[in-house]
Amino acid sequence: MFIDCGGGARVLVRALIGKMTTSNKEPVIIYGAGSSGRQLATALNAGPEYFVNAFIDDDVTKYGSIVQGIPIRAFDDIHELIKKRKATKILLAMPSATRARRKEVLAQLEPLTIKVLSIPGMADIVEGKAQLTEFRDVGIEDLLGRDPVTPKPELMIANIANKVVMVTGAGGSIGSELCRQIVKIKPTKLVLFERSEIALYSIEKELAEYITRLNLAIELIPIMGSVQRVNRLETVMRTFGVKTIYHAAAYKHVPLVEHNVVEGVCNNVFGTYYAAKAAVEANVDTFVLISTDKAVRPTNVMGATKRMAELMLQGLAQDQGIKHKTRFCMVRFGNVLGSSGSVVPLFRRQIKEGGPITLTHPDITRYFMTIPEAAQLVIQAGAMGKGGDVFVLDMGNSVKIKDLATKMVRLSGLEIKTDTNPHGDIEIKCTGLRPGEKLYEELLIGDNVEQTPHERIMTAHEVMLPLSELNVFIDALDIACHNFEHEKIRQLLLDAPTGFNPTDGICDLVWNARLKNEPKDNTENVTNVVNLSNQ
């Protein structure tokens, strides 16, 4: 007798096959049951690595629904999904959500100590720069929760569109992003001025590909050179008819400048002065200095040199309209995410290697901003400059670095190792403040601050040096650097209105090595030489 089991057998077979198919896949939860989340689930279930055992969504009307065989659950159910269904990852499928909203979601997920990954932004997916299933670590910008303000078009184009623009330090973190933003605004020429051969090669190649892909009529001019050579700067500016300069070339790493004082002064102070003087001689219209929050009441040489660079431009601005037409302005901001000196890539590497995470002090705080937002605000501030302006970017709230490290560890699915949790995964070690390092940074000197038409750009009124005094100071500092007179360099930086209040003695490596190796009677020998020379 033949018995047809019919649909029941087929359902059973499909169930068994489905179970076998998913048994070797990693169970995950998708946060977000919108169109992106559903597309992601389809792609994952068809692939070999993951199967989706639930959606989490904020929309209460979706709870209890089943999409593609996957239930939509409330956030309150997430503990059960992780423990009973053994989900190993949460995938954020919220490409259109604001950063503020993503920050709220991540704050909920952080205590779960489960690895959280994100799908690429919708713009990258649409432009073909990324695939939906190319998961990424949670962006630090999402942890900060700061949504960028849409740039004002009239300010973005004012100094760039149909003009010849030059960026010094074009291969650096800020310089390269300025270049990326500038080419979108379509200058006629973009001069990339950079001392590092590999950095110049990299940014030129990237921009050339972008220009070719979009068929833009922009001439790229890669120039190798140092801002410490005024003749080179002026020749380049005159030859190509530069009208706008963004001066990003500088040494910015605090401990390295502490250990190499003369080079820090030569590059940051005189490099700015020479670039500015060359701009005046070449009839450049606008010169924008990229400054830093470390220029405010500086405790280190780097900050003092950047404040001195500001004073240089403020001094030259006094002759605007009398001896020259160049408008000078400065833009201060704090740390940028993903820069060459940022803690974020360091922490990511340390987490990947199993720790420990190293930070200098448990209470240290910093301001952070994304590089694209910083570059856009620099461009807009430069368009508002009248001459000698010091602009300050609104960086939002300062961030405690230890809290940032903790969030990064937990969202990687790991636990912090402490005395109360000795079996944790990653230890956070404090190594002590480095030479010249502050616990916190400031953005302003005094309280004489005004709002500009842009909600995230303010202007500060600072103490200035009269041009006659500035010239005397420049000559004295130049001689001190040439002769490697570190005590004199230190005193000049203290005497200038920089607010310099060093936390350490002179840390220059060459200087200290020479002092250590000099014979004890060196002072007497030097005195004898001086006396003989005067006879």
Any idea which residues carry the catalytic annotation? 294
SS3 state of residue 324: strand
Helix runs in 59-152, H state only: 78-83, 99-109, 122-126, 140-144
Residue 458 CB partners (closer than 8 Å, separation 6+): 391, 392, 393, 394, 444, 449, 450, 451, 452
CA 361 to chain centre: 21
Q: What is the DSSP string of 225-257?
A: --TT-HHHHHHHHHHHT--EEEE------HHHH
Nearest-angstrom CA–CA distance, 506 and 355: 33
- Which one, of 292, 275, 295, 293, lies nearest residue 284 by Cα? 275
Instruction: Tell me the torsion sign for CA atoms 271, 274, 276, 278.
Output: negative
Q: In sequence order, which ranges of 215-342 are alpha helices (DSSP H)?
A: 230-240, 254-259, 261-265, 271-281, 301-317
Tell which residue, 261, 69, 246, has the closest CA to residue 170: 246
- Please answer whether residues 392 and 443 qualify as being in contact, where contact means their C-beta atoms are separated by less than 8 angstroms: yes
Whole-angstrom distance, CA of residue 163 vs CA of residue 236:
15
Residues 6+ apart with CB under 8 A from 96: 36, 122
The rounded distance, in Å, linking the Cα atoms of 297 and 438 is 10
Q: Which of 178, 36, 38, 27 is nearest to 90 (CA)?
A: 27
Which tokens hold the place of 328?
A: 């000078």
C-alpha to C-alpha distance for 300 and 499, rounded to whole angstroms: 11
| Token pair 């068994």: residue | 16
Residue with tokens 């920089």: 498
How far apart CA 361 and CA 431 sit, in angstroms, is 7
Tokens of 393: 């970017």
Sign of the C-alpha dihedral computed for residues 290, 294, 297 and 302 taken in this order: negative
What does the angle CA 202 – CA 207 – CA 208 come to, to the nearest 5 degrees? 100
